[in-house]
Amino acid sequence: MVAQIRKLGAHLILMEDKAMRWPLLAEAAKRYGWFITSPYSSPVVGSTPFGIEGYKTIAYEIFEDLGRAPDWIALPVCYGDALAGIHQGFLDLERAGAVKRVPRFIAAEAYGSLGRAIASRADRVEAAPIESATLASSVGGAQSAYQALLTLKQTDGIAIQVGNDGLVELQELIGSLEGLCFELASVMPFAAVRQLRDEGTIAADDLVVCLATASGLKDIDKSTLDWEDVPVNSEAQEQVLETAQIAVQQIATQMSHVQPGVTP
């Protein structure tokens, strides 16, 4: 992430403590008139309304592709800007008569602050304890915002806490099936949907959209921690081909267990 920011020519400031950025940004807005595009209060209440309006277009694009509203939309959630914006987009479509109802939303979160608030029927979101660091750094906040909680309440939505276990494996499964490499946070909605399907909350014929928010190249350092270096091959061509064919057969066998119709 830092490399991407630097490549775009931005002035980068790394803070020792994440919470230190909020008073810094607030003072910059006051002193220099900067337009702050991210949240700069604690607890977080959400980003600039212009950003929320931008997220509404995701709802329009989903409707354009499907011709209807899905039954469920699952996405990774930290402060809930995208969650709230997409919800507002579907409310626009409902008011315009384009859709009959708004989808139910699933918030895949790292630490569970929304789930705790819903379980306790609270009207505010308190910070959840951080027992271990999440691999999904894009949604690595311990406290979501009220806008996310409100969306879940208004859509009869569900918050699912997704831990690190199995996250990298699911990322690689999606990659092998779809040819798409998602960041680990973007894999979380698929994990949440799989859990809700297993529990019977999501019906087999429900139409579900999982929103992936970024490329896996964004956090490749975290998803390859267990990798070993690939050795430089010096074997004969025939041996290389035989070894590769065995590997291909193994991959095809693995895929056949999760995708009907795929045979080695």
Q: Which residue has the higher pLDDT, 228 or 164?
A: 164
Instruction: Clarify whether residues 128 and 107 are in a common domain.
Output: yes
| Co-location of 26 and 127 in the same domain | no
**Is 52:85 a contact under the CB 8 Å cutoff?**
yes
Per-residue confidence at 21, pLDDT binned at 50, 70, 90?
Answer: confident
264 with 153, same domain: the answer is no
pLDDT, tens only, 166-199: 999 999 999 988 899 999 999 999 999 999 999 9
pLDDT at 259: 55
Is residue 103 located within the same domain as residue 114? yes
Q: Would you give the end-to-end CA distance of the chain in angstroms?
A: 38
Q: Give me the CATH number covering residue 200.
A: 3.40.50.1100
Residues 74 and 18 in one domain: no
Q: What are phi and psi of 79, to 5 degrees?
A: -85, -20
Q: How many CB atoms lie within 10 A of CB 11?
A: 6
The stretches of the chain forming alpha helices (DSSP H) are 2-7, 21-32, 49-66, 81-95, 113-119, 146-154, 167-178, 184-199, 220-223, 237-256
Q: How many domains is the chain built from? A: 3
Q: Based on the fold, state whether residues 145 and 238 are members of the same structural domain.
A: no
103-134 confidence digits (pLDDT tens)? 999 999 999 999 999 999 999 999 999 989 99
Residue 25 domain boundaries = 1-40
- Assess whether 16 and 54 both reside in one domain: no
Judgement on whether residues 149 and 219 belong to the same structural domain of the protein: yes
The two beta strands, 104-109 and 72-76, are parallel
What's the pLDDT at 221?
A: 82
Q: Do 148 and 48 have their domain in common?
A: yes
Domain identity same for 35 and 52? no
Residues 242 and 176 in one domain: no
59 and 129 part of one domain: yes
Residues 53-82 have a mean pLDDT of: 96
Cα 183 from chain centroid (whole Å) = 8
Share of the chain above pLDDT 70, in %: 97
Query: Which two three-digit tokens encode residue 112?
Result: 């569970």
